[in-house]
């Protein structure tokens, strides 16, 4: 998937629909919120590539902008992926919570686990607010056993880490349930 802003809209037909999507060994690149929407979406062994931008502000953009419905127990899961890019070190955030039209039923969810995160990611503030009144800390963001220079944790309160018990609830199997995508 090649684009810039809003490259991949992983979404559902309606708020009450918890659509499941599975992306395996794919390449997704963009700059601003380049993976966004409210679906239950699994990104398995994908490369998420942040593009260089001709701007004078930071961050350049965000990889994810989930808008998961509060009633949905599963949002976005990035597992065994690679976050890469040629943009300057620390110039991208991992995610910001999207609440379309300040939707109070959205409580964005993203888990990034066992993923190599390159230096393009801001290690100090990988998550930020998208709009006032909805702090990222109220979103369901979590990380587990990530590696690479962008996975460093210089400010622990800005990098929510899952316990092994919590991580057991955020897997490909739990996100996809009884659906087995064809191989």
Angle at the Cα of 112 (from 11 to 152), degrees rounded to 5? 145
Distance CA 22, CA 31 (A): 22
Residue 6 known to be catalytic: yes
Q: Which residue's structure tokens are 């659906």?
A: 179
HEC assignment per residue over 59-97? CCEEEEEECCECCCCCCEEEECCEEEECCCCCCEEEECC
Q: How far apart are the first and last CA of the chain?
A: 19
For 69, the token pair is: 């419905």
DSSP state of 69: B
Strand 116-117 vs strand 76-79: parallel, antiparallel, or unpaired?
Answer: unpaired
- Catalytic site residue from 31, 33, 44, 122: 33
**Which of these is catalytic: 6, 11, 89, 103?**
6
At 44, list the tokens.
Answer: 């398995």
Q: Report the side by side order of strands in the sheet with 109-113.
A: 20-24, 40-44, 76-79, 109-113, 140-144
Task: Determine contact, residues 79/48, Cβ cutoff 8 Å.
Answer: no
Catalytic annotation, residues: 6, 33
């Amino acid at each position: 998937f090649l684009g810039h802003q809003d490259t991949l809209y992983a979404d559902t037909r309606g708020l009450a629909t918890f659509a499941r999507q599975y992306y395996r060994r794919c390449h997704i690149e963009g700059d601003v919120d380049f993976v966004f929407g409210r679906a239950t979406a699994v990104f398995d062994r994908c490369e998420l590539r942040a593009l260089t931008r001709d701007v004078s502000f930071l961050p350049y953009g965000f990889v994810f902008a989930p808008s998961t419905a509060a009633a949905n127990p599963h949002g976005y899961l990035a597992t065994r992926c690679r976050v890469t890019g040629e943009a300057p070190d620390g110039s991208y955030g991992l995610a910001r919570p999207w609440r379309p039209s300040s939707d109070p039923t959205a409580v964005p969810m993203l888990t990034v686990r066992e993923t190599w995160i390159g230096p393009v990611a801001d290690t100090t503030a990988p998550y930020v607010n998208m709009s006032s009144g909805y702090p990222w800390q109220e979103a369901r963001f979590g990380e587990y056993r990530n590696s690479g220079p962008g996975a460093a944790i210089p400010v622990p309160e800005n990098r929510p880490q899952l316990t092994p018990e919590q991580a057991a609830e955020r897997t490909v199997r739990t996100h996809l349930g009884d659906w087995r995508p064809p191989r």
